[in-house]
Every structure is written in C-alpha cells, then in structure tokens.
Chains A and B, each alone.
Chain A
Amino acid sequence: MIIMKKNDPTLGEKTKIIFMKIPTKAYIVITILIAILYPLLIMYGTAGQLWLRLAVRTEILVLLALGLNLIIGDTGLLNLGYAAFFAVGAYLTAIFASPRFGFDLPFWILFLASGVTAGFFGFLVGLPTLKLRGDYLAIVTLALGESTRLTLNNWDYLTNGPGGIPGIYHPSFFGYPIDSYVKFYYLTLIIILISIVVLNNLKNSKLGRSLNAMRENEIAAECMGIDTTKAKILSFVISSVFAGLAGSIFASFQTFINPTNFVFMISTMIVCMVVLGGMGSIPGVIVGAIVLDTLPEIIRQTFSVWLPSVFGSDFYANWPHILKDLFINFDRYRMLFFGILIVLVILLKPEGLIPNKRRQKELRETDPREISESEKTLFDVEEGKMDVKV
C-alpha cells in the first residue's frame, strides 16, 4: 500500500480498489437479490416468458457446471462424459413420471433417486478408472458419454430410442404443482443455493482439503495420510450426484427428452463454462455458465430482432455475407466460438474470469516447486531483516 501512495493509481487501479473494498458478503447479497427479483423484472409480455424459460435452462446448466467444477477444479481430473450422468438422472425421472410405463412417482422421491442413481453410476465408472492416469480418464469418460447416448438411442424398450419420452409430468409438492416457468425458476434457484452451501462446506472440510492437496502434489498428499483413490472416487461420485439432480429437473421441466439432449457437445459446453469462469472457483463457474448460455441468445436477439427493428430491415444490406451470417445464425457458430474460447482462456487467462486465488499461480507458474528468482530474493531480504530484529 505504501507503493500505492507514491505513484498515483490509474483509473483502472482505482476502480479495482473500489471493488475490492466492497465486502464479499455484499456481493453475495446483491447477487441473490438480483436472482430473486429477476422474474419480476421480465414478467411482462411473451418476450419475458422466453427469457424466463432461458433462465431456467441457464440455472440447470449452472447446477451442472457446479458439479463438474468439483472434478475439474478441485480434484484436477477431466471428465468429458458428464452428459452421461445428466442423462441417467433425466431418464430415471422420465421413465418413472410419464405415461410411458404408467408410473407417477412423487417428484421429490425421483429427484433424490436420480441423484443417487447417477452417483452409483459414477461409482461404478470411477472405481476402475480413477486408478488410471489423469488423461486416460478423459478418454474413458469421453467413450462412456458417447456409449451412454447410443445405448439410450438403441434401447427401444426402455427409452423409446430416438423418439424420446414425451409427456413427463410436472413436479408437485404435496398438491402444489410446479407448472409455470416462474415456479420452476424458484425451485431451481433454491436447489442451486443449497448446492452452493454444500459445495462451500465441502471446500472447507477434510475431504475438500484432501482433494486440493492431491491435485497439488499427489505423493505428498499420500504421505500425509490421504487415501487418494478413495478421495478421487468420492469427488467423482458427488459430482455425478449433481449431474443426476440437474437431469431430474431438466426432464420434468422440458416434459420431453430424447438422446440428442445428451450429446458430447453438452459435455464440452459445461467444461467450457468451468474453464471460462475459473476452475475451482464457485462464483466463477456460475458466471461462466450464465455468460456462455445467455450470450449466444443475446447476440441472436440483438442482431436478428432488435437491430433490424431499430435501424430498419435493410440494416444488413452492405454487410459482407460471412459477417451477416455470423451474427444472425450465431447458433451455427456457437461450438466454434466455444472451442476458440477454451483455447484462448487456457492460453491467456487460465485462471478464468473470477479466479480461485489458490489455483491462479498453479496455472500460471512454470513449476510450483521452483520459486522465481525475484520472489526468492524478496523474501530472503525480508528474512534478513527479521533476523536483525531478533
């Protein structure tokens, strides 16, 4: 801070300082308030309904991203088949709450069962695979994701194949039906808030610390008494549970699911959200999911609806074809955009939008075991001073 006073801070630094002075709790309160008030702000008109529907989808993706973050961010392993666990939850709910087999179980039972089943699936997969090298795990989960989707596609008796399962019942709690976008929005919001509390608790617990320790130095972690295989499996299972829960909400919200909802693209999209937001940081992941899910929609709306309505329909007349196509049909370019984003983020800002302070250095530094020369001398000087005082 002494250095700060000597040189006048630039405007950017000033704003940074102002933002840093706001306590974390204020941010949390503001975010929750905005989240609660959001439906009221856009309740008017059909456009409002559209945005609300989008918001529920975003919430489900936030839940998925939070779960995947546990594996990628905290444990440092790559799961590329996350959509498979999502699918398990969704199909379980769909089968037991739709006219397909005539079942109509209460939602909260199915919700929990979806989580448990996805967790068990994760356990079965994780038990043999987590002993492998980290990068083999990526390949195994990749193959798993695809084979799960194909199985859903082929197993006509259970899943009705590519036709999917229509007519999934909306959930209801003790006679109170959750049947509108607003109600779904709040239901999912509550689940997300609970998840955040749970994940935050996990971070500050023995398990959370052992996951971080393992990621930073596996051998040292083992010598400190951490059963690495067990910890890895636990984190894999918990992360799968989140996917199952999200899947359950997804199925009852959409009322119709088919295997195309669970393609490889979904898995990579969630990975992208985690990477963009900041691996290992809960607020980062939430922001990442919101940005990546709403941005394409905003671009599409802006360029195909708002701009032409403001500037007239011949607004694009002089634009080059590719640029016009890019903005109007942004959906086609979405995956390309995601791919470029992953590479750019990893290369330029590997800690993500809202970095987890712990991981920041790990991703930047060349080798954690070696301190850079400047840092070393800095602290040696400090040591020297301390010795003089003593």
Chain B
Amino acid sequence: MSVTSFLNLTVNGITVGMIYALIALGYTMVYGILEFINFAHGEVFTIGGYFGAIFLTWIIIQPGMPFVLKITLIILAFLFSIIATSLLGETVYLIAYKPLVGKSSRIGPLLSAIGVSIVLQNLILLIFGTTPITMPVEAIPRGFFIIGDAYIRHIGLIIIGITCISMFILSLYVKKSRMGQAMRATSQDIEAAEMMGINTNRIISITFIIGSALAAVAGILVCMYYGTLKFNIGFLYGLKAFTACVVGGIGSIPGAFIGSLFIGLIENYSIGLKFNLLGIFVALVFLLGTYYQFYLLPKKAKAGIKFIAPLFSKREEEKGSLVTTEKKTKKDLMSMEEKEMAKKAYYFGPLLIFFNFKKKNPSSFVAFHVRQSIKISFFNLFVFITMILMLFIFPNFQISSQWKDVVTYLMLILILIVKPSGLLGENIPEKV
C-alpha cells in the first residue's frame, strides 16, 4: 500500500462523499420537518443528471467553441436542470405527499413515496431505455494533476468546490435569513410554527425545492465525473445518502455533510485498503466524533445556564431573598460549584470536564450534558476499541471488488442498526 494510492483513494472518497452530501441535504431537511423518508429523492437526483446531460447534448457543445461560451453553456445546463428538477420535486410533493401530511397513519406517506420512486424510475426507463445516458465529452473538464503516482482529476476538485460553496450558502441561509428561521421553527414544531403565523406549507415547498435543486446539481456532477448515468443509479445513491444523514445525525445540515464524507471515504477505503488501514480510519473517525461531543459541551452548558436562570431566581425568592430577579446577572444565579464547572467546561475543554464528571457532581446541571455526551460517545469509543482489536486479528484481510456492493449494503445496515442517533447526535425534536 503506497502513500500515493492512499491519496488517490482519499480524493476519490471525498469527491464521492461530496456528491452524497448534496443528495443527503434533501433527505435530512425533509426528515427534519416532516419526519418521513422521501424515497423518491434518489430518482429526483437521477432525473436532474438526465436533464443536464440532455440539455448539453441538445445544444451540441462543439470541440472548437471558445472557453467562455462553453462555461456559459454548462452553467445554463445547470440552471435548466435545477429549475426543471425543482419543479419536479415540488410537483411530487404537491401530488403525493401534501394530502397525507398530518394524517395519523405513519406508513401512508412512506408507501406513497415508494410508489413515486417506482413511477419516476420506470418513466426514465421507458423514455430512455436501459442504455445509460452519456455526457458530451466536451462538457467535461478533463485536466488532471499527478502527484507521485496519484492521479487527481480537475472535475473532482470542482465537485468538492461546488459542494462546499453550496453547503456554506445553505447553512448561512438557514441560520441567518428570515426564511431559514421560519424553517427551523417549522422543524421544531410544525403546529406551533403555524400558530405563530408561519406559512408552513410554503416552508415545506421551499424545503422540497432546495433539496431537489441540490440533487439536480449532484446529478449533473456525477454525470460529469463518471461520464454516464444509468436509470437505476438513484436507488443506490439515495440509500447511501440517507445512511449518511443518519450517520451524521438526521435533521442536521453539518451532520449530513460529515456523514457523507464518512460514507464516501469508508466506501473507497473498504475496497482499496487492507483491513488494518481501514480499521485505523474508522477508529479515528469515531474518536473524532467522541471528541466533538465534548467539544460541543460548553456551548450546551451555556444554553443550559440561560435556560435555567429564571428557575434559580424563583427558588431564591421563595427562600425569602430580597434581591429581585432583574438585578441579578445570570452568573450570580449559579452556585459557586456550578460556576466553576461551567467555567472549566468553557475554557479548559473536553478533557477536564470529563475528569470532573468522574469526580461526581450530582447537583450540577452541567453534569447532565456530560452524561448525555458520554452516552452518545460511548459507542464511538467501543468502535474505536473493536477496530484496534481487528487490526491485530486480521492484519492482511482485503475484500475482493466482487463483493463491493454487498459490503456497502451491509455497512449501511450496520450503521443504521448500531448508530441510529448519529455521530454528532440527531436534531429531531422529541414529539411525545
């Protein structure tokens, strides 16, 4: 195993992971709001790719065309595909899902989504047949770097770039804009949001449109990366992207990004690498997940302080204290012990808080978050240890490429079974 082929696998893994991320966003946003799996999303992705490829074939990209014109045409193709696919996504929502939203049966929307998925896949099959559609060669950036023996294509870097930019814009949109705020409110509690005057129907529509648009981008990028696109590709991509959402913690946008990266890399490594290196990779990821849990802790604890302040004030009042709530700052409301704890948590990072927890501080509410985090990260540590053990047991085991898909599926099943709460913890509000 040379370093260069490792580099190759890594870049490929990241590229594929980015594509999963674009698809995964559609799943995770819809799941966050409606709590159902949009099975048809994989097909929407395929159709997006088909639209792009058809557009570029249709306007005939010539070999002698000037560079600027070519770029313009490709951008036009993207726009065309994004618009057409968004319309498709919205139509699917209006026809097949909207009448079912809010009904008591949970299995209904799921079945409807499967029906739509079958319909879309068979429509592609009937219109274009089983032969895969090809992207015109002129539309594909064909340059590459060579680092050692590693061979890195420009298109891979373009995919990474486009995904990162759209992720950044999207998170900014969801965090900062009014629409994004409404979106988050809707995903917290759809009825409460409606009562607050948010047009939840519109929010859901927009969610479907954004998801479909991103899937369309992913479709064209995949078609450029591999040169062709087959009618049933959406099934596998959709499945992987959904698993990526679950790995990252369903409902969270950064979670989808990180989960997709993980799936993309592990998929490439599991075939290309011997077991020992694969083990190290998996172990590292889960160790990082654990660390991230602790990293988030101070923030959570801070939120807890804000949240609990009125309660503390109440209790003091009852005890007969003359100091009113308004005059107190939030810091004064905590006991010394808790203040120390929060301070340490905030400044000295994850390790310290972990050791502090071990000393047992039962009354501290910070300890609650520590307990939660330890619960979530317990499994990560477990995987870390098993993977290290695996290294010693099967150091030279390698999976043959024939079993690639089976390995992928089994991995997906395993991840869904053992890690349904995700690496970063899921972002679905509990609805009791």
Question: B111 interface residue, CB < 8 Å from A?
Answer: yes
B residues in contact with A142, CB < 8 Å? 239
Q: A132-B417, A147-B406 are in contact. Are A339 and B107 (CB under 8 A)?
A: no
Answer whether A339 and B37 are a contact pair too, CB < 8 Å, given A362-B105, A366-B102: no
Q: Is A366 a contact of B417 with CB atoms below 8 Å?
A: no
* A275 / chain B contacts, CB cutoff of 8 Å: 111
Alpha-carbon distance between A144 and B37 when the two chains are bound, in angstroms: 17
Complex contact A139–B416 (CB within 8 A): yes
Which of B115-123, B173-181, B273-281, B357-365 lies at the interface?
B115-123
Closest Cβ of chain B to A268, distance in Å, is: 6
CB contact list, A275-297 vs B, under 8 A: 275, 279
- Is the pair B104, A367 in contact by a Cβ cutoff of 8 Å? yes
What's the Cα separation between A146 and B100 when bound, in Å?
A: 28
Which residue on chain A has the smallest CB distance to residue B96?
A: A343
Which of A192-200, A329-337, A374-382 is the interface stretch? A329-337
> Are the CB atoms of B111 and A154 closer together than 8 Å?
no
List B57-112 residues whose CB lies under 8 Å from chain A.
95-96, 99-100, 102-108, 110-112
Tell me whether A151 is interfacial, beta carbon within 8 Å: yes
Within 8 A of A (CB), among B407-428: 409-410, 412-413, 416-418, 420
A342 at the interface (CB under 8 A from B): yes
A271 and B104 contacting across the interface, CB-CB below 8 Å: no
Smallest beta-carbon distance B259→chain A, Å: 14
Q: How far is the CA of A77 from the CA of B242 in the complex (A)?
A: 19
> Is the pair B103, A365 in contact by a Cβ cutoff of 8 Å?
yes
B243 touches A342 (CB 8 A): no
Interface string of A133-155 (1 = CB under 8 A from B): 11110111011101100110010
Complex: how many Å from CA A228 to CA B114?
Answer: 26
Q: Contacts A335-B122, A366-B102 given: A128-B417 contact, CB under 8 Å?
A: yes
Is the beta-carbon distance between A268 and B114 smaller than 8 angstroms?
A: yes
Interface centre among B37, B111, B239 (most CB of A within 10 A): B111
Inter-chain CA distance A368–B104, complex, in Å, is 7
Q: Which chain B positions have C-beta within 8 A of A367?
A: 102-104
A134 to B110, alpha carbons, bound, how many Å?
A: 10
Residues of A within 8 A of B420 (CB): 132-133, 136
**B6 in contact (CB, < 8 A):** no
A363 at the interface (CB under 8 A from B): yes
- Tell yes or no: A129 within 8 A of B by CB: yes
Q: Is there an interface contact between A78 and B110, defined as CB atoms closer than 8 Å?
A: yes
Chain A, range 316-344, C-beta contacts under 8 Å to B: 332-333, 335-336, 338-343
Could you tell me the dominant secondary structure of chain A's interface residues?
A: helix
- Decide: A129 and B417 in contact? CB cutoff 8 A: yes
A117-139 interface bits toward B, Cβ cutoff 8 Å, 1 = contact, 0 = none:
00000000000110011111011
A72 to B107, CA, bound (A): 8
Bound Cα distance from A138 to B239, whole angstroms: 11
Interface size on B, residues (CB 8 A): 45
Closest B residue by C-beta to A348 = B99
A residues near B410, Cβ cutoff 8 Å: 143, 147
A346:B111 contact, CB within 8 angstroms: yes
What's the least CB distance linking A280 to chain B, in Å?
Answer: 11
Q: Which of A132, A340, A343, A350 contacts B105 (CB 8 A)?
A: A350
Whether A350 pairs with B108 at a CB distance below 8 angstroms is: yes
Q: With A333-B126, A335-B118, A343-B112 known to touch, is A136 a contact of B107 (CB < 8 Å)?
A: no
Q: Is A249 an interface residue (CB 8 A)?
A: no
A76, A129, A151, A338: the one contacting B107 at CB < 8 Å is A76
| B-chain residues with CB within 8 Å of residue A133 when the two chains form the complex | 420
Contact A336 B122 (CB under 8 A): yes
Do residues B99 and A347 form an inter-chain contact, with CB atoms below 8 A? yes
Cross-chain contact A143 with B111 (CB below 8 angstroms): no
A80 at the interface (CB under 8 A from B): yes
Assess the A340–B115 pair: CB atoms within 8 A: yes
- CB of B21 within 8 Å of the partner chain: no
| List of A residues within 8 angstroms of B37 by Cβ | 135, 138-139
Q: Tell me whether A76 and B106 are in contact in the complex, defined as CB-CB below 8 angstroms, given that A132-B416, A143-B239, A340-B115 are known contacts.
A: yes
* Assembled-state Cα–Cα distance A271/B106 (Å): 15
* Cβ contact within 8 Å between A147 and B112: no
Contact of A139 among B35, B122, B242 (CB under 8 A): B242
Specify which chain A residues have a CB less than 8 angstroms from the CB of B235 in the assembled complex. 264
Chain A neighbourhood of B246, CB < 8 A: 136
- Does B111 contact A339, Cβ atoms closer than 8 Å? no
Known: A140-B417, A363-B105. A80 touches B115 (CB 8 A): no
| Interface flag for B403 (CB, 8 Å) | yes
B126 with A342: CB separation less than 8 A: no
Question: In the complex the two chains form, what is the Cα distance from A144 to B406 in whole Å?
Answer: 9
Contacting residues, chain B, for A132 (C-beta < 8 A)? 416-417, 420
Please determine whether B99 and A366 come into contact, CB atoms closer than 8 angstroms: no
Contact mask for chain B residues 121-158; partner A; CB cutoff 8 A; 1 contact, 0 none:
11100100000000000000000000000000000000
Q: Are A336 and B126 in contact (CB under 8 A)?
A: yes
Tell me which residues across on chain A come within 8 A of B417, comparing CB atoms: 128-129, 132, 140
The answer to whether B321 has its CB under 8 Å from any CB of chain A is: no
Would A78 and B107 count as touching, CB distance under 8 A? yes
Q: Which residues of chain B have C-beta atoms less than 8 A from A342's C-beta?
A: 111-112, 114-115, 118
Contact A339 B112 (CB under 8 A): no
Contacts of A347 in B (CB 8 A): 96, 99-100, 112
Knowing A78-B107, A139-B242 are in contact, say whether A343-B126 is a contact too (CB < 8 A): no
* B329 within 8 Å of A (CB atoms): no
| A residues less than 8 Å from B106 (CB atoms) | 76, 134-135
Please provide the 7 A-B residue pairs with the shortest distance between their CB atoms, ordered closest to farther. Answer: A342-B115, A339-B118, A147-B409, A339-B119, A343-B115, A336-B122, A128-B417
Beyond A135-B110, A147-B413, A336-B126, 13 additional pairs, beta carbon < 8 A: A78-B110, A133-B420, A136-B246, A275-B111, A279-B107, A336-B123, A342-B111, A342-B115, A346-B108, A362-B104, A363-B105, A363-B108, A367-B104
A-B contact pairs, 30 of them (CB 8 A): A76-B105, A78-B107, A80-B114, A128-B418, A134-B106, A134-B107, A135-B37, A138-B110, A139-B239, A142-B239, A143-B413, A147-B405, A147-B409, A151-B406, A154-B403, A264-B235, A268-B114, A268-B118, A332-B126, A336-B126, A340-B119, A342-B114, A342-B115, A346-B100, A346-B108, A350-B108, A363-B103, A363-B105, A366-B102, A366-B104
Residues of B within 8 A of A (CB): 35-37, 95-96, 99-100, 102-108, 110-112, 114-123, 126, 235, 239, 242-243, 246, 402-403, 405-406, 409-410, 412-413, 416-418, 420
